[in-house]
Amino acid sequence: MISEYLLRALLGGMMVSVLLGMLSPLINMKGLAFLTHAIFHSLLFGAVLGMILGLFFENLSLILWMALIVTILVVILVAFLEDRGFGSDTAIGIIASFIAGFTVLGFGILYKVMALKPYFAFSQSIVSYLTGELFLITLNDLFFLILGGVVIFFVMLSFYRDFLFVSFDAEGLESYSGNARFYLTLLYVVVGATGALIVRTVGLITLQVIAVLPGAIALMLSNDLRKILGVSLGLTLSVQVLSIILAYFTDIPPSGIATIILGLVYGTLVLRR
């Protein structure tokens, strides 16, 4: 009989697979790989703020909420700067530099707070946030992941064609009475919210790789949009399930196994060209 924690991990992994499978092609088509780097910094900064507040209020759920709030604010700022005429890389670089500095300051404050409240169990949450640990998610975590994932899924489903248009031809979309600014901002919010929602399951260290490589591999295998989306979804789902099964027998975080598998597939395709 399948273990309860393994079942939770599989369900969580499937939700993550659907979100990343749909989002990864958009990240590659729009050239948002660097944005995921900024999201890395914002998630870390939000997590540090959440840890500080969590130590005071003894509530670990604040980590996720602060990471979500900070990340959404950061991606909105990036979209705002782009709308003001800054290049994507420039806008991301400006925001990421400030966030990196605030993160360092936040760690300094966190160390002082931890010294005042050494009794509060915290190490397990920090490790799972950095490396990802699907086997540690609770029923509440799984419920929140599925609920948030369903909301993001339907937002992507409703605006996917608009996201494609703004990725390929934002000016053309604007000329046909499409609000390119709105769709660009919404796309960035979806990327940021997805990162904040799944970071504890896939891990902050491996988030960027897992978010980018499935779409990159799919684009190497096909030029047809439906096939690209199908390959990305199928690859993400198969890698997630395989990594969870291997992790179950090896006690290695599944995010690390998934990253290695994706890297091997991508490397093989590049070498065969």
Alpha-carbon distance of 260 to 214, in angstroms, equals: 12
Alpha-carbon distance of 31 to 184, in angstroms, equals: 12
What is the CB neighbour count within 10 angstroms for residue 59? Answer: 12
Q: What is the pLDDT of residue 169?
A: 60
Instruction: Return the CATH number at 148.
Output: 1.10.3470.10
**Measured between alpha carbons, how far apart are the two ends of the chain, in Å?**
44
What's the predicted TM-score (pTM) here?
0.84
Q: Which pLDDT tens digit goes with each residue over 182-236?
A: 888 888 888 888 888 888 888 877 887 888 899 999 999 888 888 989 999 999 9
Which helix (H) or strand (E) covers residue 154, if one does?
helix 139-168
Do residues 254 and 246 lie in contact, with contact meaning Cβ atoms separated by under 8 Å? yes
Overall number of domains in the chain: 1
Q: What is the pLDDT of residue 162?
A: 81
Q: What is the pLDDT of residue 266?
A: 92
Alpha-carbon distance of 170 to 82, in angstroms, equals: 12
Q: What is the pLDDT of residue 133?
A: 75
Query: Which residues are within 8 A (CB) of 120 and not within 5 positions of it... i.e. 6 or more apart?
Result: 54, 55, 58
Place of tokens 């659907």: 18
Residues of the chain with pLDDT under 70: 1-2, 117-128, 167-178
Do residues 100 and 48 lie in contact, with contact meaning Cβ atoms separated by under 8 Å? no
Alpha-carbon distance of 229 to 130, in angstroms, equals: 28
Question: Which domain covers residue 97, as residue numbers?
Answer: 4-272
Q: What is the pLDDT of residue 132?
A: 75
DSSP of 109-147: HHHHHHHH-TTS--HHHHHHHHH--GGG--HHHHHHHHH
Tokens of 24: 């990864």
